Structure 1
Amino acid sequence: MTVALWCILIAIFLPYLCTGVAKVSGGYRLKDNHDPRGFLDSLEGLGKRANAAQLNSFEVTPAFAAAVIVAHLAGNAELVTINVLSVLFITSRLLYIIFYLADLATLRSLMWFVGMGLIVSFFVVSV
């Protein structure tokens, strides 16, 4: 398996990291598990930002996975290029999450654009 394919697996689990931060920062208890989405919707501050980062991570992961798979299937890009782009994408997502949690909106948005640019780049290098 390539590094890029492992990065897809990492991207799949990043939202759950955000969920954990949201729940812990919001004082989540197991008894709250009957309505976890309601609990997450009630959060403020750090917990609310962590939940928003979770939702955005769920939104972008399919596009990243598709881009990696397309790049593999097209066969025109060097494997090292696909792997580097994948690691850069995961790095941009980690920074996105960190900036979101730290309430650094401009840097967060910059990392979102970087990540989207990296997704586009998979298609560009596959031509």
Structure 2
Amino acid sequence: MKFAGLTVAYWAVVVASLLPIGCAWLAKSGTFGKPRREGGFDNHNPRAWLARQTDWRARANAAQANSFEALPFFIGAVIIAHQLGASQLRLDVLAFVFVVLRLLFILMYVADMATARSLVWTLALLVNIAILFV
């Protein structure tokens, strides 16, 4: 199935590529209007500001890093599956499931649900591996 010339799997790559940006936005949300001296976001030194964050903001930033780490394998798996002529329906479904699992992972990371988060991370990894063998 295609939308605007891209398969669902390729759209899943687009969405997965935007997840780190969403995590960064979440980590910084609510701090843009505050002065830096009151803990507001410091766009002059954003990495140091993020490194000082705690609780859910720190976890959102960690989810951002993990989302970037998951991208190369997912992008590669989708491209390889397309090149090898994988069943488009299976590939689309698996890529969609991967994105859903990654969204759940982010939500669980921010909510500090460590065990469930690790389980979802493992499931997403297995789905990614399955994409290679579809």
TM-score (normalizing by structure 2): 0.88
Q: Which has the larger radius of gyration?
A: 2
Task: Give runs of aligned pairs for residues 31-110 of structure 1, distance below 5 A.
Answer: 32-75=42-85, 77-110=86-119
**Which residue number corresponds to residue 21 of structure 2?**
16
Instruction: Give the aligned residue type for 1:56.
Output: N
Conserved 8 A contact 2:63-2:109: yes
- What do residues 35-64 of structure 1 show as CA deviations (whole Å, max 9, x unaligned)? 111111110001000000000000001110
Please provide the CA RMSD for this pair. Answer: 1.3
TM-superposed CA distance for 1:24, in Å, is 1.6
Residues matched between the structures, number: 123
Conserved 8 A contact 2:109-2:117: yes
Query: Would you tell me which structure has more helix in proportion to its own residues?
Result: 1
State which of 127, 131, 134 in structure 2 corresponds to 1:122: 131
Unaligned runs of 5+ in 1: none
Conserved 8 A contact 2:108-2:117: yes
- Deviating beyond 4 angstroms after TM superposition, the runs of 4 or more aligned structure 1 residues are 28-31
TM-superposed CA distance for 1:30, in Å, is 8.0
Instruction: Give the aligned residue type for 1:116.
Output: L
